[in-house]
Amino acid sequence: MTTHTAPALLPLPTPAARAITTTGAAAALAGTFLAWTYTSTFPGDLTVTGYPGGLQVLTLVSATLTLLYALSGYGIKGLRWLTPGGTHSPVRLLALGTFATTAYTVIAVIVKKDGNGNLLGLVELEPGAWISLAGALTAATASLALPSDQPLDETTTPSALTRFRNSLSAPAPSRAEALPAWAGILIIAVSFGLGLHLLTYGIDTEYAELFIGYLITLAFGFTALTRAGLIARLTALTTEHRNVTLAAALVAAFCFPFTQQNEQYALIGANILIFATVALGLNVVVGLAGLLDLGYVAFLGVGAYAAALVSGSPMSPVGVHFPFWAAVLTGAAASLIFGVLIGAPTLRLRGDYLAIVTLGFGEIFRLTVNNLNGVSGPDLTNGSQGIPSIPDLNLFGFDFGISHDIGGLTLGRSANYYLLMLLFTAVVVLVFRRSGESRIGRAWVAIREDETAATAMGINAFRLKLLAFALGAALAGLAGTVQAHVSYTVTPEQYQFAGSAPPNSAFLLAAVILGGMGTLSGPLVGAALLYLIPAKLQFMQDYQLFLFGIALILLMRFRPEGLVADRRKKLEFHETGQLDVPPDTPLTDQAAGTTKAGT
What would the pLDDT profile of 370-419 be if each residue is shown by its tens digit?
Answer: 888 777 777 788 888 888 888 888 877 788 888 877 777 778 888 888 98
Residue 289 has pLDDT above 70, yes or no: yes
Dihedral Cα 520, 521, 524, 529, nearest 10 deg: -150
- pLDDT bin (cut points 50, 70, 90) of residue 112 is confident
Query: Has residue 581 got a pLDDT over 80?
Result: no
Name residue 207's amino acid. Answer: Y
Tell me: pLDDT of 28 over 90.
yes
Return mean pLDDT, the chain.
Answer: 81
Residues 6+ positions from 30 with CB-CB distance below 8 Å: 131, 132, 135
Q: Is the pLDDT of residue 446 over 60?
A: yes
pLDDT higher at 96 or 12: 96
Question: In this model, does residue 25 exceed pLDDT 70?
Answer: yes
Which contacts qualify for 12-20: CB closer than 8 Å, 24 or more apart?
12/142, 12/145, 14/145, 14/146, 14/147, 16/145, 17/142, 17/143, 17/145, 17/146, 18/70, 18/73, 18/74, 18/91, 18/142, 18/146, 20/138, 20/139, 20/142
Higher pLDDT, 519 or 591: 519
Write the CA distances from 518 to 299, 437, 522, 585, integer angstroms.
20, 11, 8, 31
- The dihedral built from the CA positions of residue 84, 87, 89 and 95, taken in this order, carries a sign that is positive
Average pLDDT of the residues in 343-350 = 84
Residue 2 has pLDDT above 50, yes or no: no
How confident is the model over 72-99, as pLDDT tens digits? Answer: 877 776 677 777 765 788 889 999 999 9
Q: Which residues contact 420 (CB under 8 A, 6 or more apart)?
A: 393, 400, 482
φ, ψ dihedrals at 84, nearest 5°: -75, -20
How large a percentage of the chain has pLDDT more than 90?
17
Does position 144 have pLDDT exceeding 80, yes or no?
Answer: yes
**pLDDT tier at 17 (50, 70, 90 boundaries)?**
confident
Task: Give buried/exposed letters for 268-284 (b at 16+ CB in 10 A, else e).
Answer: bbbbbbbbbbbbbbbbb
pLDDT exceeds cutoff 90 at 131: yes
Q: What is the pLDDT of residue 152?
A: 44
Mean pLDDT on 569-590: 49
pLDDT in tens, 530-576: 888 877 877 666 677 777 778 778 777 777 777 777 666 666 665 55
Radius of gyration of the chain (CA): 26
- For the chain, the first-to-last Cα distance in angstroms comes to 17
Share of the chain above pLDDT 70, in %: 84
pLDDT of residue 572: 62
User: In the predicted model, is pLDDT for residue 114 greater than 60?
Assistant: yes
pLDDT at position 586 is: 44
Which pLDDT value is given to residue 78?
67
Going by pLDDT thresholds of 50, 70 and 90, the confidence category of residue 166 is low
Confidence grade of residue 517 (pLDDT, cut at 50, 70, 90)? confident
Q: What is the pLDDT of residue 555?
A: 76
